[in-house]
Amino acid sequence: MFVPLKRHVRKVEKNEINKRRGDRVHASIFMAFYAVNGMDVIMNVKEKRSFSRISMWEAIRGYLFILPAMALLLSLLFIPMVKGFGYSLTNFNILKSWDMEFIGLKNFGKVFSNKDFLTIIKNEVQFALSVTVVTVVISLMIALLLNKVRHCKNLVRSLVFMPWVLPEVVVGAIWRWMLNGEKGLVNTILVDYMHLIPNKIQFFSEALALISVSFVYIWRTYPYVTIMLSAGLQSIDREQYEASAIDGCNKIKQFWYVTLPNLRYVLSICSLMAMIWTMNAFGIINILTAGGPGVASTTMPMIIYRTAFQNYKFGLASAYSVVQFLIITIMAVAYLRVTKATNEEA
């Protein structure tokens, strides 16, 4: 009777000892696991802190690198622009700078009441749109041809890029001589040598002045856009053309469904830059026609120059500049919205 009882007691005691040993093992395992993971957490926190400090220092160092450029932009661009907005509200005259007075929006009233203002705006828009559209189309065609060149590619690109390298003064002087109505090279070839037309063309007449200026500015601008588009064409994966050829696409369909979609961002940037450059064009127009005859080729930069440096009315010229700034901003925003909608549809 007592033997089974003793066995039972021993068995219970043995189970209790094993249970305590298991708890100790589990506790040690848990402590070891916690210690390891706890150290990982601590190391991760330390690494994140060190990484954040490194990132902060890298950001500060980056800002320090661009600080000189930002200071230059601030001093040469933003401060004069703010002062220009301020001058547009005054009667600032360079000959009587000590007698400057605040006159509110009177300068803008003079701008909009100018009898030639609508003609100048029409010239500005016509000049900008025609130069931008024709430049992009011609540049795209030349870029496609350049992309097919296999020999002397760098030499050909250098020759294409030559008009962009020349200063505006040189470009204006060359084309003013070539398009001269009496002894110009173009009229001499067409009338005296080739006898293609009976009378010499007056390229700088009231009817043709803006067209002639637009042509010269297209010749001046197309090389930059051509090089940009040529670089964009080289970045297109050739496998897309191979896949489209396998699907039965001819050259026209490849251009429409492969080339243009891949160039849409480059085309957008080039078109916007060409439009802004054209609307701010001054040097070539001033050398070729000086805005004449009358106001036939006068744009906003020309009227700003005349008002400021010929009539010395810097306040009124600043008002014209503000109007020019608003026109460029509106056209740029409208263009970006149109191109963004087109890209989203594509």
Q: Read out DSSP for 110-125?
A: HHHH-TTHHHHHHHHH
Per-residue pLDDT at 12 exceeds 80 = no
Hey, is 90 helix, strand or coil?
Answer: strand
Q: CB pairs under 8 A, 24+ apart, for 317-321?
A: 318/84, 318/85, 318/87, 318/88, 318/92, 318/107, 319/88, 319/107, 319/108, 319/110, 319/111, 320/111, 321/84, 321/88
Q: Of the given ranges (32-41, 164-173, 324-333), which has the lowest mean pLDDT?
A: 32-41
On the question of pLDDT at 45 being above 60, the answer is no
Question: Measured between alpha carbons, how far is 237 from 126 in angstroms, rounded to an integer?
Answer: 37
Contact criterion met (CB below 8 Å) for 89 and 297: no
Other CB atoms within a 10 A radius of the CB of residue 225 amount to 27
pLDDT of residue 219: 94
pLDDT at 265 over 50: yes
Q: Tokens 């060359």, residue?
A: 174
Of 152-156, 270-274, 339-343, the range with the lowest mean pLDDT is 339-343
> What pLDDT, on a 0 to 100 scale, did the predictor assign at position 1?
44
Residue 36 has pLDDT above 50, yes or no: no
Question: From CA 157, how far away is CA 152, in angstroms rounded?
Answer: 9
* High-pLDDT (> 70) share of the chain, %: 82
Mean pLDDT on 146-169: 84
Q: Stretch 188-217: mean pLDDT, rounded?
A: 90
**Greatest mean pLDDT among 45-54, 58-67, 123-132, 238-247:** 123-132
**pLDDT of 8 over the 50 cut:** no
Q: Model's pTM, two decimal places?
A: 0.75
